[in-house]
Chain A
Amino acid sequence: MQTPEHAMNLTQTILGITFENPTVLASGILGITSSTWKDVAKNGAGAITTKSLWIKEHKGHPNPTIIETEHWMLNAVGVPDAGPTKAREEIGDFMQKQPVPLIANIIAESIEDYGDIAAEIALLGPNAFEVNISCPNIEDEFGRPFACSAPDAAAVTKAVKAVCGNIPIFIKLSPNVDNIGEIAKACQAEGADGFTCINTVGPGMAIDLRSRMPILANKVGGMSGPAIKPIAVKCIADVYAATEGKCPIIGTGGVYTGEDALELILAGASLIGIGSAVSRRGPEVFSKVCEEMQYWGTNEGIDNISDMVGGMHKELSKRK
């Protein structure tokens, strides 16, 4: 790959945080220990998102928990976490010589618990919160996710916002709704600073032919991978439009290449979550996606990646 003279600048500054590039390790992928976060940062990620943190220890599902084909990945890991003691140890270690911004992903079973875990983790000084209200593979335990109802999503936003001080919060939305824009607006009204679009799709199911059994121990799991990119693009575009581009979006879903990332950015994403692609392209996927974005943008004569955010909406309104 040629090294261009005036390469497109990949830096993004949003909500007062500077990201050297827009790629972010998506929650739930390689996110258990400080050692892996540092390794992912070394591989070029612009920021790290932790695995979902609970106020107390939470068991995951038995295996198989993650299966994949060339088209899709299904996961029902079940959001395992050892609780705040481990979070303090791992985040504390990472923050000592913090190589990139850290986004703490939090989850809870009740609105009250969301406030409690946010207050607990806020003490560790993460750069931002991502509030997971949209996991599709723990419905047997907790019922429909908060992200499926505008009032529930807004109530969680309010509870977290009340305790997190100056730390910005991204609400992680579900694509498995028919009004994602309205849900985003309801959260925005309660102070959500930004959104992560999208959590996994479905849930879906896969069956082994000979045993006639569902392969995932949880029977169903959230779908990710190449096949969900068009759904991510649509949801990001909806949320960007509903919030009039005022809330930065971490676009996540089916990003494997620089061109995938740029498509989500045109839909309205400021940052790009990468998860499933780690299995195919390795932890190096972050630097590879950055190189590919920069190569494309530089050839097109674009100075700053920030100029591309929401580009589709601007193009559409120009043509009205």
Chain B
Amino acid sequence: MSSISLQSRLPRTYRIKEIVQETEMVRTYTFDGSLGARPGQFLMCWLPGVDEKPFSVAFDDGSETKITFFAVGPMSEALANCNVGDLVGLRGPFGTSYEWDAGDHIVLVAGGYGAAPMYFVASEAVKHGCTLEAIVGARGKEHLLYLEELESLKHVSLHVSTDDGSVGHKGYNTEVLDQLLEAAADSDAKDPPIDKVFACGPEMMLQSVLTVSEKHSVPCQLSLERYMKCGFGICGNCAVDSSGARMCVDGPVVKAEDCKKISEFGKYHRDDLGKKHEF
């Protein structure tokens, strides 16, 4: 089935068409339908009888949808136990997406499973004549995701960093970002200047991306993760202090200038009861 569901606020069940075990804890599921998602948007995935949680879209080509997830809690662990042919409810797509202009030179900063939506960005942006620098970071070699897929795209240069130095730059991906922006700002640089920085990963990494991008005066777009329930802006669970912006509607992808209005950015997030938890 490939028709786009118009009832985006009511889940509809799709069958799992393919399962790829990416790393020990990370899997990619392909579903037999498209919801018309753009890079950066998310879906609510419902496991009947268990729970429903938000997942960023790893790919949507108009006929099928992919999510890449880390089995981290009861819902995603139950999801990880599913098999090909099992039913998963999807509703969405929800939220904002990354925005670029044709021909842009973009740096992608991916931390952990943030690599999946960054691959989705790259695969769409190259169609608009963009050139991309993809920096993929993880704790170690065994946690790196989407390297082959990113490498297979024309006009995408891959940069890798690992905390333990098992492959690529030893250290944080934001250090690589700093080097790339520094080099591009050099008037003798052979590459065109960087137009935008997109990032998806842990919030402390995003905070660093914001700082580094601002230092080099390059606009950035960051994907923020907050506890979601409805997904369409009514329950208020994902609203951030102090702007009150709802991350399911006004996010998850937030531009630098809007991110700076979020006083809780890099400090705390709220749980399903609205209680604050520090990062």
- Bound together, the chains give a CA A81 to CA B10 distance in angstroms of 25
User: A263: shortest Cβ distance to chain B, in Å?
Assistant: 23
**Contact residues in B for A64 (Cβ distance below 8 Å):** 11, 44, 46, 52, 89, 91
Q: Is B243 an interface residue when CB atoms closer than 8 A count as contact?
A: yes
Q: Is A242 an interface residue when CB atoms closer than 8 A count as contact?
A: no
Interface size of A in residues (CB-CB distance below 8 Å): 42
Q: Is A262 an interface residue when CB atoms closer than 8 A count as contact?
A: no
Interface residues of B in 210-246 (CB under 8 A from A): 229-230, 232-237, 239-246
Find out whether the CB atom of B244 lies under 8 angstroms from the CB atom of A32: no
**Contact residues in B for A57 (Cβ distance below 8 Å):** 273
Find out whether the CB atom of B10 lies under 8 angstroms from the CB atom of A206: yes
Q: Is B255 an interface residue when CB atoms closer than 8 A count as contact?
A: no
> For the complex, would chain B's binding face be called helix, strand, loop or mixed by DSSP majority?
loop
Which of A35-43, A95-103, A243-251 has 4 or more CB atoms under 8 Å from chain B? A35-43
Find out whether the CB atom of B235 lies under 8 angstroms from the CB atom of A65: yes
**Contact residues in B for A82 (Cβ distance below 8 Å):** 273-275
Partner of A30 from the list B48, B236, B272 (CB cut-off 8 Å) is B236
Q: List 19 A-B contacts (CB under 8 A).
A: A32-B239, A33-B274, A35-B243, A36-B239, A39-B239, A57-B273, A63-B51, A64-B46, A64-B89, A66-B230, A66-B234, A66-B235, A208-B13, A208-B89, A211-B48, A213-B49, A275-B234, A279-B9, A282-B233
Interface residues of B in 66-106 (CB under 8 A from A): 87, 89, 91
Find out whether the CB atom of A213 lies under 8 angstroms from the CB atom of B236: no
With both beta carbons as reference points, the residue of chain A lying nearest to B273 in the complex is identified as A82
Find out whether the CB atom of B235 lies under 8 angstroms from the CB atom of A59: no
Q: Is B139 an interface residue when CB atoms closer than 8 A count as contact?
A: no
Extra inter-chain contacts (6) besides given A33-B274, A35-B244, A69-B7, CB under 8 Å: A30-B234, A64-B11, A66-B230, A80-B274, A276-B234, A279-B9
Q: Known contacts A69-B9, A80-B272, A211-B87: does B230 contact A279 (CB below 8 Å)?
A: yes
- Bound together, the chains give a CA A62 to CA B48 distance in angstroms of 11
Find out whether the CB atom of B234 lies under 8 angstroms from the CB atom of A31: no
With both beta carbons as reference points, the residue of chain B lying nearest to A63 in the complex is identified as B52
- Bound together, the chains give a CA A60 to CA B275 distance in angstroms of 13
Please give the residue numbers on chain B whose beta carbons come within 8 Å of chain A beta carbons, in ascending order.
Answer: 7, 9-13, 44, 46, 48-53, 87, 89, 91, 229-230, 232-237, 239-246, 270, 272-275
With both beta carbons as reference points, the residue of chain B lying nearest to A57 in the complex is identified as B273
- Bound together, the chains give a CA A247 to CA B19 distance in angstroms of 61
**Contact residues in B for A276 (Cβ distance below 8 Å):** 234
Find out whether the CB atom of B87 lies under 8 angstroms from the CB atom of A39: no
With both beta carbons as reference points, the residue of chain B lying nearest to A68 in the complex is identified as B9
Interface-centre pick from B236, B270, B275 (highest chain A CB count, 10 A): B236
**Contact residues in B for A275 (Cβ distance below 8 Å):** 234
The 4 closest A-B pairs by CB, nearest first: A39-B244, A63-B52, A30-B236, A213-B48
Find out whether the CB atom of B11 lies under 8 angstroms from the CB atom of A67: yes
User: B46: shortest Cβ distance to chain A, in Å?
Assistant: 6
User: A174: shortest Cβ distance to chain B, in Å?
Assistant: 21
User: A18: shortest Cβ distance to chain B, in Å?
Assistant: 24
- Bound together, the chains give a CA A67 to CA B53 distance in angstroms of 14
**Contact residues in A for B7 (Cβ distance below 8 Å):** 69
With both beta carbons as reference points, the residue of chain B lying nearest to A212 in the complex is identified as B48
Find out whether the CB atom of B10 lies under 8 angstroms from the CB atom of A33: no
Q: Is A217 an interface residue when CB atoms closer than 8 A count as contact?
A: yes
Q: Is A210 an interface residue when CB atoms closer than 8 A count as contact?
A: yes
**Contact residues in A for B233 (Cβ distance below 8 Å):** 278-279, 282
With both beta carbons as reference points, the residue of chain A lying nearest to B89 in the complex is identified as A208
Q: Known contacts A32-B239, A33-B236, A65-B235: does B44 contact A215 (CB below 8 Å)?
A: no
Q: Is A77 an interface residue when CB atoms closer than 8 A count as contact?
A: yes
Interface-centre pick from A30, A35, A37, A59 (highest chain B CB count, 10 A): A35
**Contact residues in B for A68 (Cβ distance below 8 Å):** 9-10, 232
Q: Is A86 an interface residue when CB atoms closer than 8 A count as contact?
A: yes
Fill in one digit per residue for A266-294: 1 if any B CB lies within 8 Å of its CB, else 0: 00000000011011001000000000000
With both beta carbons as reference points, the residue of chain B lying nearest to A209 in the complex is identified as B13
**Contact residues in A for B48 (Cβ distance below 8 Å):** 208, 211, 213
Find out whether the CB atom of B10 lies under 8 angstroms from the CB atom of A67: yes
Q: Is A29 an interface residue when CB atoms closer than 8 A count as contact?
A: yes
Find out whether the CB atom of A29 lies under 8 angstroms from the CB atom of B235: yes
Find out whether the CB atom of B274 lies under 8 angstroms from the CB atom of A211: no
**Contact residues in A for B51 (Cβ distance below 8 Å):** 62-63, 217
Interface-centre pick from B13, B234, B239 (highest chain A CB count, 10 A): B234
Interface residues of A in 185-240 (CB under 8 A from B): 206, 208-211, 213, 215, 217
Interface residues of A in 42-95 (CB under 8 A from B): 51, 57-60, 62-69, 77, 80-82, 86
With both beta carbons as reference points, the residue of chain A lying nearest to B249 in the complex is identified as A282
User: B56: shortest Cβ distance to chain A, in Å?
Assistant: 17
